[in-house]
Chain A
Amino acid sequence: MTIDLTALPKPTELAVPGFVLLVLLELIYGWRSHKVRFEGQDTATSLIMGLGSTVSGALTAGLLYTAIIWLWDNARLLDVGTSLPVFGAAFILDDLRYYWVHRCGHRVRWMWAAHVIHHSSQHYNLSTALRQTWTGQFTPGVLFAVPLVIIGFHPAIIAFCTGLNLIYQFWIHTEAIDKMPRWFEAIMNTPSHHRVHHAKNPAYLDANYAGVFIIWDKIFGTFVPESDAEKCVYGLVSDLGTFNPLKVAFHEWEGIFRDIGSAKTWQHRLLFLVAPPGWTPDGSRLTSDMIKKRWQRLNADKSTAE
């Protein structure tokens, strides 16, 4: 069985009514039960960021798709076809691609400048899932799809799988669900796993990058389970303190340009772009590694004192 690529829907567009309905239900559920935390302005900002992301994506999609189709026409090694098993393989490999692009999104400041938007809310609810970047197209993240095209997966299949991946990730942005069945938690990304990813507690930094399958984190050593003893605190290690969508969208880019402008050497300029967020030549700011080490040292000192 082969699938007609021209008939493939755009999953995220079709899912918008579902997104809206589920956010509405969670808003009402949180209001009645107080089990989910919202802040009106924060939710409004998340929704505006979501709309802006759709617009910015639409504006640049044509250019990106043209480039990737050129790659498909000129650089692919194989054509793996359009059968159902190919779609299954593409979905799994695209999720692996997502893991790495997401991991780099946290570890390379250039990519973090786009992804930080998604982590800028101090709340964790379904509206946070919609708080998406306006500038992801201007980072090297787009290059992570290149190997799949060269292997022989048609760009339309990759785009379709990426859409499904994003839809899956929507429902895991909630505090309304505690834990899923154990077998599910073992294989799939879940609200519990993703809460850890959005937490700024030192114990939880740089963990659980998975999109759909949590197994990637387990394979590559970045899995951290949610602990009852360590309640998740959401947001950035240095929170923005603003609901202004323009500041939310561009603050890290502004920071990069400012740092590059004041850097004294070309090496420093490059590192301000590609080193982990928080890197400075004199160590005057904290990277997530430094925060974690300091936290581990505090714990070790405490253990010694006891």
Chain B
Amino acid sequence: MDPALMLGSVVAITLLALLAKWLYPTPQVITQTQIDAALTLAFPMLSDTLISADRLTMTNGSQLIKLPDAVYVGYKMGDQVIVRKIGESVTLSTDENAVKIIAKDSTAATITLRPAQDTDFSRIAVFTQSALG
């Protein structure tokens, strides 16, 4: 490669990277990348460690899940893991309005599943801030 072209490319790409970081700073809220890393670390065998489907046979109702300091809930639609943060108000409404944390104290939360049409809640997990690293 022509040295001048190489040097020019390095400079241009460095400037581009800096611009990208300025325009799209890493958000203070947890990123999807961090969530996926946490899931990988916390649940190396995701399908085995998530609460199994037979414990969530009631797909339209509430289930009490022990939730010490848990702040995130993950669920699976088909094979796709979706994770949402439980906000300060301790309510969570997903894009599909499918999972709602309706009450939480220091040890437990009631999770109400309101599956949207065609939503397959075969797995659900609740995990902690510390698991997210």
Contact = CB atoms under 8 A, between A and B. Distances in A.
B16 A48 contact: no
Interface string B78-106: 11100000000000000000000000000
Given A13-B2, A17-B12, A27 B79 contact: no
B78 A58 contact: no
A46 B22 CA distance: 16
A138 to B, nearest CB: 21
A250 B6 CA distance: 24
At the interface, is chain B mostly helix, strand, loop or mixed? helix
Given A13-B1, A239-B36, A239-B37, A27 B78 contact: no
Contacts of A43: 16-17, 20-21, 24
Given A54-B9, A201-B80, A241-B40, A27 B17 contact: no
A31 interface: yes
Contact of A202 (B5, B6, B19, B78): B78
A122 B23 contact: no
Interface residues of B, number: 35
B13 A27 contact: no
Interface stretch (A34-42, A92-100, A177-185): A34-42
Contacts of A238: 40
B33 A122 contact: yes
A28 B16 CA distance: 11
9 contacts: A10-B1, A13-B1, A13-B5, A20-B9, A27-B16, A44-B21, A47-B17, A239-B37, A295-B78
Interface of A: 10, 13, 16-17, 20, 23-24, 27-28, 30-31, 38-44, 47-48, 50-51, 54, 58, 122, 127, 201-202, 233, 235, 238-243, 284, 291, 294-295, 298-299, 302
